[in-house]
Structure 1
C-alpha cells in the first residue's frame, strides 16, 4: 500500500513539474511589451553612442530604454529571438535576411536608422570618370561586402549586374562593364594599405576611418541612403505594430538624434530615415 502511495506521489510531482516546465518555456511571442520600458541591444561603438541620445529623447516621451551592449553580430539577434531583448539596432537588411534563414527566426525591420557608407577611393584619380579603360579595382573578398561594392558601381552607372543578383552579386554576375574594370579581390581590412597598388578600391567605413580616411571628404564614390545596406531597428514579428515600438522608432528618427549623428560623425555615418 505504501509503495502505491509513493508511486502516486511521484507521478503527481512529475506531472506538476512537467506542467511547470511548459509554463516556463513560453515562447518570446507570448511576452507582452512593457509600455514604459524597452530593452534594446546595440553593438559597442557608434551604435551605442547614438542610442544613448535616443534614450534621452525617449525619456522625454515617458519611455525608458535599457541598453545591452554586444561585441559581436550574432548574439543581439539571438537574444532578441529568445525574448531577452525587445529590439536591437545594429544591422542592415541583407544581414537580417541571412540570419533569419540560417537560424529559423522571424525578426523584422521596423525603422531605418543609419548608413555606414562604403566608399570608393583612389590615390591616383580625383573622380571615377578619370579611371582609364582596364583600370584595376580592389573590392572586399567576402561575399557581403563584395556585393556591396559592386552595388555602388552599378548605382553610379559604371557596371550592370544581372537582374536577380542585385544584393548577392559577385564579379561573375556582371553583365556590362564599359570601362573593362579589372577586379582584384582583397581582404577588406587590408585594402586601405593596398590602395596605392590599384587604381581605385572600395573600403568599408570602419577600415577607412581607422586609416585616417574620411568617407565624405576623400571618396570618389559614396554609397547613398538608397542602399539596401542601411541599418534598421529590428523586432520580433509579433511586435512590429506595437505602440511602444512605434514610440521608440519615433525617438530614434528625431531631429535631436539626427543632429547628433551629423555633428559627431561628420558624414562617416549618415542618418537614413529621410
Structure 2
C-alpha cells in the first residue's frame, strides 16, 4: 500500500528533502552540525520546533521532517536517510522491527499521549447501540491498545486482559455485539461521521482538532505505559547531537511547554 507523506509548514527544509528522497541519502548527511529527525505533526514536530533555538545555541541544526503515517519514519531511519525519529511507543517499535526485520532501538522516552475513544453520534459509551460499529487501528500494538481501553471500560472482555497486541479475534465477550473496522491509524479521525466510535491516537486526534480532555468518551489515565520515544539505530545512542537533543527535550522548559500547550492531552514522561 502506498502511503502519502506530506510536508508541514513546521519544516521549511522538508521541500528539499522530498526532492532527494529517492536518492537514499540524507541531504544533510555531510553536514556535521545538522541532525535530521522524522516526526508526526502534532505534538512531536511542535515539541521539536520548541527546542530548536536551544539546540542552535549548542551548535546543532535540527531539521524536522514531518510524516502523516507510522511506517515511513521508521523505514527512512532504518535506511539511513534520516538520523532518528520521534513518534512511537515501544510496543509499536517492537512490532515494526519484527515485521520488517529492522533493529531500531528506543533512545529516550519523552511523553505520553493518552489514547482515547471518540464519537460524533453518542455522548457516552452507555449510549452505544447493539451492533455499533467501532473503528480501531489496524496494526497490532495500537489495536491491542484500543481493545484494552474498551475492555477497561467494560464493553468487551479479552482472552488475555494484558495482551498489548490483541486483535478482535481475542475478544471472548462482546455483549453489545460491537462490529470492528480495522483501519490505518491516520484515517481514523476522518471516519468519525461513518462509525459509532473510533479509537484514535492522540497525535491524530489533536491534528484533527479534537480535544482529548473534552471530547474523548473514555481515555487512558496518566499511568499509561505507552511512552513516546526518540528512536534510531544503536549507533545513535552515542551521537553527540542526539544526546544534546535528548537533554534539550528533558528540560523544565519543555515540560512546562507541554503542560501549557496540550492541557493534559500530552503528558511529560520525565
Normalised-by-shorter TM-score class: 0.5 to 0.7
One of 202, 216, 220 as aligned partner of 1:223: 220
**RMSD across aligned C-alpha pairs, in angstroms?**
3.6
Structure 2 portions without partners, runs of 5+: 1-28
Change in 2 beyond 3 A, CA 1:256/1:174: same
Give matches, 1:96-245, under 5 Å: 96-122=93-119, 123-126=121-124, 128=125, 130=126, 136=132, 138-140=134-136, 142-144=138-140, 145-156=142-153, 159-163=156-160, 166-176=163-173, 180-186=175-181, 187=183, 188-194=188-194, 198=196, 200-205=197-202, 208-209=205-206, 212-227=209-224, 229-240=226-237, 244-245=241-242
TM-score by length of structure 2 reads 0.68
Change in 2 beyond 3 A, CA 1:68/1:109: same
Match of residue 19 from structure 1: none
Task: Output the CA distance in 2 between the equivalents of 1:243 and 1:50.
Answer: 20
TM-score by length of structure 1 reads 0.67
Change in 2 beyond 3 A, CA 1:207/1:64: closer
> How many pairs align?
233
| Greater Rg over alpha carbons, structure | 1
Structure 1 portions without partners, runs of 5+: 1-30
Moved over 6 A (4+): none
Match of residue 22 from structure 1: none
**Structure that is richer in helix per residue:** 1
